[in-house]
Amino acid sequence: METLPILAIVFGPILAFIGAVIGAFMANFLGEDFKRFRDGSALASALSGELKSYRIASARLKDRLIILQNEAKSGNAIVLAEPPPFKDWVFEKAVEKLGYLGPDLPELVCLTYGKIAGFRTLFLLIAQKKLPSDAATLSRLYPELLELVNDAARSGGIAIADLETRANQKYSDYLRSNWDSFLHKCTS
């Protein structure tokens, strides 16, 4: 009968210590995971906002490109004015943090910004007159430019919707959907 209190005296504190270590270990992982989740939500919101601003501008740009295309077909060679340097403020600052968005969103975000870069490249080649700027050539280049805008807008629309979903996701839903990977992180 005396062995039971001795076991409780010896093993009670050991079990309490082990429980505290496991609890602290799990709390540390949960705390860091929540911080990354919160940073990912803010990043998703910011990228979505930046892409929305491009979507607004692209609607106006499409109208102007159609006018330029029609002018070129009529024999009037109107060359685009050279714009100020393009800058993706949010994307450029946060590219190393795209992993906070999860496994799928970074690919879509990079694809969208890549399509925007493709449009900008052709735009600059035309504006800087590094390509022939006669009406016949412009009547072929402006439709290409318009297609690049449309392609980037389609990709951007999908990215905006997915980024908004990620930005508005609750941590509890995120944790439930990623519980297996969270447990794997804790045990490895």
Please list, in sequence order, all residues whose beta carbon lies within 8 angstroms of the beta carbon of residue 22, skipping any fewer than 6 positions away. none
Confidence of residue 186 (pLDDT cuts 50, 70, 90): low
User: Integer distance in angstroms from the first to the last C-alpha of the chain?
Assistant: 41
Residue 90 CB neighbour total at 10 angstroms: 17
Q: Classify the C-alpha dihedral 92-97-98-100 as positive or negative.
A: negative
For the cut 80, the answer to whether the pLDDT of residue 46 exceeds it is yes
Rounded CA separation 154/55 (Å): 10
What are the distances in angstroms from CA 151 to CA 13, 101, 144? 64, 23, 10
Q: Say which residue, 65 or 32, is predicted with more confidence.
A: 65
Predicted pLDDT at 8 = 65
> At residue 172, does pLDDT exceed 80?
yes
pLDDT, one tens digit per residue, over 63-94 is 999 999 999 999 999 998 898 899 999 999 99
Phi, psi of 77 (to 5 degrees): -90, 95
For the range 10-18, what are the long-range contacts, defined as Cβ-Cβ under 8 Å and sequence gap of 24 or more?
none
